[in-house]
């Protein structure tokens, strides 16, 4: 009896000791340092999870930046943030210039907290006594204010006259190769509908003259839903083929690099960095999108006539979609031309072309007249 009782008592005491040991470990791991360690671990795991989901490296870098920004400002871990903290930050020291930036940051913070609630809420409550709850609530959640205004491109005739006037001035430009490069980039943007960032990255070897009917060129397109850049073929059409052939044959060789290298940029910068010039490297850097934007803006001030007086590359992309659709190109082909994944995105580019009540009214009246004439 005594032996059995002794064994039973020993077993009971061992169990109690195990529980006390676990409690001491939990208490020891609930320090501020442990909280910060877990915070860093959750950030890393969140990025790993989104990487597995297929997000690009650039998207992953930006994903947790708002969380780091706010937590660094208050010097707290995320689960100690409150809705009031977020309100004070984004209405004061962290207030950006645009509402869209606030909405983007709040969405990313909310996404990170959804991850915390799903995977770490129990551990954080057990170890640190903090309930995981997103500081983005029903009251401070940003709403879309319609800050993307309607982009109205110039008419087809206005752009035709604009490019004609611009080309007439090219021979008198002080930097003829640079002026031609800017002109060709703008015209190709309008013809092919590519983005400025896509066009600047095109290399000479990316132009495939034998693809399709008039040739095509590869661009590193914008991936859908943060999945990263994807290669796609952009279309030249006959006008773009003739223009690009003239540029490569007559003008491209006047820049300070090797125009026979397939890795050379199609549209190089006229300025070589000192490090590259000193090494006498055969490749020039590609022109930057901002340089292209400034050149197009200056040209539009000088040569564009009509109600629209300012051009930027993305407006030419809208003009490409609108004018092709108005000329009879089906919506699906416009979607392929722009490289969109979803037709709903393409429809947004056709805001000024998707409805013409005046034309429909005239067509309806003509049909009514024909019917009445047939009846009589």
Q: How far apart are CA 270 and CA 254, in angstroms?
A: 10
Rg, C-alpha atoms of the chain:
31
User: Which of 33-47, 78-92, 280-294 has the least mean pLDDT?
Assistant: 280-294
Stretch 301-329: mean pLDDT: 93
- What per-residue confidence (pLDDT) applies to 256? 81
Q: Are 179 and 299 contacting, i.e. CB atoms less than 8 angstroms apart?
A: no
Q: Which residues contact 213 (CB under 8 A, 6 or more apart)?
A: none
- Compute the 3-state secondary structure of the chain and give helix, strand, coil in percent, each to the nearest 5: 65, 5, 30
Q: What confidence category does residue 361 fall into, taking pLDDT thresholds of 50, 70 and 90?
A: low
Q: How far apart are CA 304 and CA 358, in angstroms?
A: 27
- What per-residue confidence (pLDDT) applies to 12? 47
Q: What confidence category does residue 349 fall into, taking pLDDT thresholds of 50, 70 and 90?
A: confident
Other Cβ atoms less than 10 A from the Cβ of 303: the count is 17
> Is residue 85 exposed (0-12), middle (13-18) or buried (19+ Cβ within 10 Å)?
middle
Query: Above 50 in pLDDT, residue 244?
Result: yes
Q: In what order do the strands lie in the sheet with 207-208?
A: 207-208, 216-221, 230-235
User: Strand 230-235 and strand 207-208: pairing?
Assistant: unpaired
Q: Express each pLDDT in 112-147 by its tens digit.
A: 999 999 999 999 999 999 999 999 998 988 876 554
Q: Answer with the residue of higher pLDDT: 342 or 147.
A: 342
Q: Answer with the residue of higher pLDDT: 145 or 334.
A: 334
Query: Above 60 in pLDDT, residue 7?
Result: no
Grouping H, G, I as helix, E, B as strand and the rest as coil, residue 310 is coil
Backbone phi and psi for residue 218, each to the nearest 5 degrees, phi listed first: -85, 135
Query: Above 90 in pLDDT, residue 374?
Result: no
Cα 219–Cα 222–Cα 227 angle in degrees, nearest 5: 125
Q: For tokens 């564009």, what's the residue?
A: 304
Q: Are 245 and 236 contacting, i.e. CB atoms less than 8 angstroms apart?
A: no
Distance of CA 30 to the CA centre of its chain: 41
What string of DSSP letters covers 235-269? E-HHHHHHHHHHHHHHTGGGSSS-TT-TTSBSSB-
Query: Above 60 in pLDDT, residue 175?
Result: yes
Q: How far apart are CA 189 and CA 34, in angstroms?
A: 54
Cross-strand bridge partners of residue 235:
216
């Amino acid at each position: 009896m005594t032996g059995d009782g002794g064994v039973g008592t020993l077993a009971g005491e061992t169990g109690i000791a195990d529980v006390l040991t676990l409690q001491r470990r939990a208490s020891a791991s609930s320090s501020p340092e442990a909280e910060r360690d877990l915070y860093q671990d959750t950030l890393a795991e969140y990025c790993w999870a989104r990487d597995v989901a297929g997000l690009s490296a650039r998207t992953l870098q930006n994903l947790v930046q708002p969380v780091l920004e706010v937590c660094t400002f208050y010097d707290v871990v995320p689960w100690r943030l409150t809705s009031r903290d977020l309100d004070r930050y984004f209405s004061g020291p962290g207030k950006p210039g645009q509402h869209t930036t606030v909405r983007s940051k709040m969405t990313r913070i909310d996404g990170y907290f959804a991850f915390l609630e799903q995977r770490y809420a129990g551990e954080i409550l057990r170890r640190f006594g903090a309930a995981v709850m997103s500081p983005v609530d029903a009251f401070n959640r940003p709403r879309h204010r319609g800050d993307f205004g309607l982009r109205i491109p110039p008419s087809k005739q206005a752009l035709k006259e604009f490019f004609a006037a611009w080309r007439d001035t090219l021979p008198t430009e002080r930097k003829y190769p640079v002026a031609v490069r800017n002109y060709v980039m703008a015209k190709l943007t309008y013809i092919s509908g590519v983005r400025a960032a896509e066009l600047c990255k095109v290399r000479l070897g990316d132009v495939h003259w034998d693809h399709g009917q008039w040739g095509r060129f590869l661009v590193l397109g914008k991936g859908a839903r943060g999945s990263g850049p994807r290669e796609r073929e952009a279309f030249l059409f006959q006008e773009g083929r003739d223009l690009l052939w003239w540029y490569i044959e007559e003008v491209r060789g006047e820049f300070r690099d090797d125009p026979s290298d397939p890795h050379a940029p199609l549209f190089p910068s006229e300025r070589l960095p000192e490090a590259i010039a000193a090494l006498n490297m055969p490749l020039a850097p590609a022109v930057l999108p901002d340089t292209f934007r400034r050149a197009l803006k200056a040209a539009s001030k000088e040569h564009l006539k009509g109600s629209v007086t300012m051009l930027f590359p993305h407006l030419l992309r809208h003009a490409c979609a609108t004018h092709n659709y108005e000329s009879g190109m089906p919506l699906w082909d416009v979607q392929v031309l722009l490289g969109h994944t979803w037709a709903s995105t393409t429809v947004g580019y056709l805001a000024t072309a998707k409805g013409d009540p005046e034309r429909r009214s005239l067509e309806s009246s003509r049909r009514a007249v024909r019917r009445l004439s047939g009846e009589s």
